[in-house]
Amino acid sequence: MEAPTFMKIVSFIFGLILGSFLNVCIHRIPRGESIVHPASSCPRCGAKIRFYDNVPLLSYVLLLGRCRSCRSPISPRYPIVEALTGLLSLALFSKFGPDPRYLFSLLFCASLLVISFIDLDHKIIPDYISFPGILLGLVGSALGIFHVSWLESLLGILCGGGFLFLTAIVFQWLTGKQGMGGGDVKLIAMIGAWMGWKSLPFIILISSITGILIGGTGLLVAGKGYRAKIPFGPFLSLGALVYFFFGSEILRWYVGILN
């Protein structure tokens, strides 16, 4: 049954609010700071952000993207994360409606967003997110919340993490350089826990293609060359989201080609 329009609007607003919290996580987790306290403040001047200046999307527009106190520019990452979380929440609610799958899936997608932006900024994927994500994915599958069984989830953890770990070992052995960090291994294990082992070949393929096209193009434009390190977490997350929303269509298309 299609969710009522009012509830869809509520889900979008809820996603915006969640996105505001995700921005706190993205800023503080890499610094080892608490995500609960103190209250949000300007990273430049330290002025406490008033509640009416902390309304998702709207405050950024009204303040013209600047701090009210010191007029320093606010990173566009803040409205981008809020908007993306709002749209993901809307898409998931439209897909599942008022169902536990909506909340669990939103938690999964929110984790991917946080991981992606932290990896972009700091080139790290915190265990603080990936390890609990692996456990929650396995628990959700065991409870029957997802379409994958607990065995598929467990195999997703072992196959995903194990495959990338072996790939990293072989790459380092052949080139003498570290190609893929341990954070990427834990991330794909988390994705496998939530989506099962069968999704992993397509997710890795999508991630590799987008990494080459987007990441490689970005390096050339920036003049850094192909030797520069590209954070792979955002592309793994993008591949997971593409498969999450369009996996069945991708599989039908692939089977159609084979036939």
- Rounded to the nearest 10 degrees, the angle between the axes of helix 127-142 and helix 100-122 is 160
Residue 91 in tokens: 């898409």
pLDDT in single tens digits along all 259 residues of the chain: 455 889 999 999 999 999 999 999 999 999 989 998 888 888 888 888 888 888 999 999 999 999 988 999 999 999 999 999 999 999 999 999 989 999 999 999 999 999 999 999 999 999 989 999 999 999 999 988 887 899 999 999 988 887 777 776 776 676 666 656 678 889 999 999 999 998 999 998 999 899 888 877 766 666 665 555 778 899 999 999 999 999 888 778 766 776 6
Torsion of CA 203, 209, 211, 213, to 10 degrees: -150
Burial class, 191, CB count within 10 angstroms (exposed 0-12 / middle 13-18 / buried 19+): buried
Q: How far apart are CA 75 and CA 78, in angstroms?
A: 6
Confidence (pLDDT) at 53: 87
> Looking at this protein, which amino acid is placed at residue 167?
T
Domain boundaries of the chain, sorted by first residue = 1-98, 99-259
Place of tokens 């456990």: 135
Torsion of CA 212, 239, 25, 6, to 10 degrees: 130
Confidence (pLDDT) at 1: 44
- Would you list the DSSP string of the chain? -PPPHHHHHHHHHHHHHHHHHHHHHHHHGGGT--SSSS--B-TTT-PBPPGGG-STTHHHHHTTTB-TTT-PBPPTHHHHHHHHHHHHHHHHHHHH-SSHHHHHHHHHHHHHHHHHHHHHHHS---HHHHHHHHHHHHHHHHTT-SSS-HHHHHHHHHHHHHHHHHHHHHHHHHHSS--S-HHHHHHHHHHHHHH-GGGHHHHHHHHHHHIIIIIHHHHHHHT--TTS----HHHHHHHHHHHHHHHHHHHHHHHHHH-
The pTM of the full predicted model, rounded to 2 decimals, is 0.88
What Å distances lie between residue 173 and 46, 161, 176, 178, CA to CA? 47, 18, 6, 9
Signed CA dihedral, 214, 252, 203, 131: sign only: positive
